[in-house]
Amino acid sequence: METVRFEELNISEELNRAIRDMGFEETTPIQAQAIPHILEGKDVIGQAQTGTGKTASFGIPILEMVDPQDQNLQALVLCPTRELAIQVAEEIRKLGKYLQGIKLLPIYGGQPIERQIRSLKKGVQIIIGTPGRVMDHMRRKTLKLDKVKMVVLDEADEMLNMGFREDIETILKDMPKTRQTVLFSATMPKEILEIAKAHQNNPEIVKVVHKELTVPSIEQYYFEVKEKNKFEILTRLIDMYNPKLALIFCNTKKKVDELVSDLQGRGYFADGLHGDMKQSLRDRVMNSFRNGNIEILIATDVAARGIDVDDVEIVINYDVPQDEEYYVHRIGRTGRAGRSGKAFTFVVGKEIYKLKDIQRYTKTKILHQQVPSLNDVEEAKMEILIENIKNIIENEDLSKQIKIAERLLEEDYTAIDLAAALLKMTMRKETEEEIDFDFEDTGSEPGMVRLFMNIGRKQNVRARDIVGAIAGETGLSGKLIGTIDVYDKYTFVEVPKEYAKDVLKIMNNAQIKGKPINVEPANKKR
Ligand SMILES: Nc1ncnc2c1ncn2[C@@H]1O[C@H](COP(=O)(O)OP(=O)(O)OP(=O)(O)O)[C@@H](O)[C@H]1O
Ligand SMILES: [Mg+2]
């Protein structure tokens, strides 16, 4: 049995309707195997690859089991991080949207506890929380576990890693012995069996076994690099693959902060996530990443587990992870729910041995790849251009444009002439107009000139598009382009004075996302 239809699982029509709304057509293998056992009331240890629907594997049975008439807390899900608690709560909320009278609440540290207490007082049947905050509420007696029928440890192994073992034991001991205990993770080290033995009752072990621990639709590569070249290579990879969203993992918070400011300095829409940030900021960053306002998220392992964001097309291990399991979880942020993805790992010197350990552990091969040259980056961009053109030909209404083309063809131009001219226009390579400006140092550093453009952020032009356009048009590498930011309603870039004239000339003939841009230097003198 690989997958089945949800209808065959004997779950309520309300749930089935929500599942259809979410676009799930059939179960994933872990859902097909785990849901029936959990519905029967059995304890379960569930292991399946990243992004294969473990959340719904416990979310669906929880919603089936909870009695809406009963206001007591009936199900508790423990998650290792705050972001994951929020996300899991959201998924269960979606699944339960047609069920009347079921209340659920995520509770996690960093959020005002009073607000949580008020919500708890109103009666909540399902809680999704981090162990620390759950303990806190237990001590304050604002959370009673004596009516809990089911507890789920999502990322069970990680919660043990993080030193939550005692907390978890305390929490489990506070619940009725008759409760059901369910553990899930993509990795299940042996230590987990100890906690299982102590706290589970004859568990059903559901392993969706594969040859390898990682998802086959994620292409995995590594680059042998020097520490000091990492940043340059990172930007090349991003420019080359142009991912909708990318997630970059560093081993320390400090590195995350540094990388955020370096990438922002180069005009990428990047931001960071780590444990030293205020929760309100963490929430803001996570939301911006989910809705695409941030295209590159740089994070510590706080974002390695469970986080599910559709459009993450690339994961980069800027540092090799300390633990083999972490490699699995980090790269598992891409290639979710059957999608494809790419994972790149930067390896410095002796770290190659760590990579060998990782490959042994995951039973996969991580392929060596040459660092892309600037030429490769150019070529890749060309490929993207060609893809875009094909896409337009195949999917868009071109009747208006075809009329114009027909007119030109009647004038004895060949189709090739036409295409080439248009390509030239798109590639914005040309200008006749001479501009004569004297440039002052208007940038934030001596020798730099600030150029203003008529594009605000609202027009959906990303800083990266601008830098990309300038770099592409002028041949200046990103390094020569200084700060890029929005001042008043204008976007500006800073470039070295000696290039300012060229940049201005070329950019005034260029388009970004099909819109002409108007570039002017600050304090221009004619
Ligand atoms: N049956 C299904 N069909 C299609 N998509 C599904 C199905 N079940 C879950 N999904 C979607 O797949 C994505 C990944 O699911 P989920 O986050 O539960 O994975 P996971 O197994 O918990 O991964 P991880 O180990 O990284 O935590 C989610 O966006 C989820 O909504
Ligand atoms: Mg998960």
409: CB partners within 8 A, 6+ apart? 415, 418
- DSSP line for 402-447: HHHHHHHHHTT--HHHHHHHHHHHHTT---------B----SSSTT
329 vs 470, more confident: 329
pLDDT tens-place string over residues 25-78:
999 999 999 999 999 999 999 999 999 999 999 999 999 999 999 999 999 999
- DSSP line for 119-132: HHHT--SEEEE-HH
Query: What average pLDDT score do residues 236-252 get?
Result: 95
Quote the CA–CA distance of 343 and 334 in Å, as a whole number. Answer: 8
pLDDT of 469 higher than 90: no
The amino acid that residue 214 corresponds to is T
Closest atom of ligand 1 relative to the 28 alpha carbon = 1
Quote the CA–CA distance of 356 and 365 in Å, as a whole number. Answer: 9
Whether the CA torsion 133, 137, 139, 143 is positive or negative: it is negative
Query: Does domain 6-207 fall into CATH 3.40.50.720?
Result: no
pLDDT tens-place string over residues 488-499:
556 777 888 777
At 423 the pLDDT is 86
At 526 the pLDDT is 32
pLDDT band at 519 (very low <50, low <70, confident <90, very high): confident
Q: What mean pLDDT value characterizes the chain?
A: 89
Name the closest ligand to CA 333.
1
- C-alpha distances (whole Å) from 340 to each of 215, 305, 385, 493 are 9, 18, 21, 35
Q: Which CATH code is given to the segment(s) 448-521?
A: 3.30.70.330
The amino acid that residue 240 corresponds to is M
Q: How far is the CA of 237 from the centre of ligand 1 (A)?
A: 27
Q: Name which of 42-46, 170-174, 451-455, 461-465 the model is least confident about.
A: 461-465
At 434 the pLDDT is 40
At 108 the pLDDT is 96
For the Cβ of 54 lying below 6 angstroms from any atom of ligand 1, the answer is: yes
pLDDT tens-place string over residues 138-174:
999 999 999 999 999 999 999 988 888 899 999 999 9
Residue with CA closest to ligand 1 atom 15: 53
Among 20-34, 163-177, 512-526, the range with the most confident prediction by mean pLDDT is 20-34
pLDDT tens-place string over residues 361-376:
999 999 999 999 888 8
| Percent of the chain scoring above 70 in pLDDT | 89
| Percent of the chain scoring above 90 in pLDDT | 71
Closest atom of ligand 1 relative to the 329 alpha carbon = 26
Q: Where in the chain are all domains bearing CATH 3.40.50.300?
A: 6-207, 218-372
160: CB partners within 8 A, 6+ apart? 168, 191, 192, 195
Residue with CA closest to ligand 1 atom 3: 24
Residue 386 φ/ψ, nearest 5 degrees: -60, -45
Q: How far is the CA of 301 from the centre of ligand 2 (A)?
A: 15
Query: Which of the listed residues 35, 52, 79 should we mutate to test ligand 1's pocket, taking the one with most ligand atoms within 8 A of CB?
Result: 52
Q: Which residues pair with 525 in a beta bridge?
A: 438
Which is nearest to 278 in space by CA: 136, 84, 82? 82
Quote the CA–CA distance of 316 and 221 in Å, as a whole number. Answer: 10
pLDDT of 333 higher than 50: yes
For the Cβ of 52 lying below 6 angstroms from any atom of ligand 1, the answer is: yes
CATH C-level class of 218-372: alpha beta
- C-alpha distances (whole Å) from 481 to each of 253, 373, 448, 455 are 27, 19, 9, 17
| Three-state SS at 211 | coil
515: CB partners within 8 A, 6+ apart? 455, 459, 461
For the Cβ of 29 lying below 6 angstroms from any atom of ligand 1, the answer is: no
pLDDT tens-place string over residues 266-283:
888 999 999 999 999 999
463: CB partners within 8 A, 6+ apart? 267, 268, 269, 484, 491
Which is nearest to 89 in space by CA: 98, 74, 79? 79
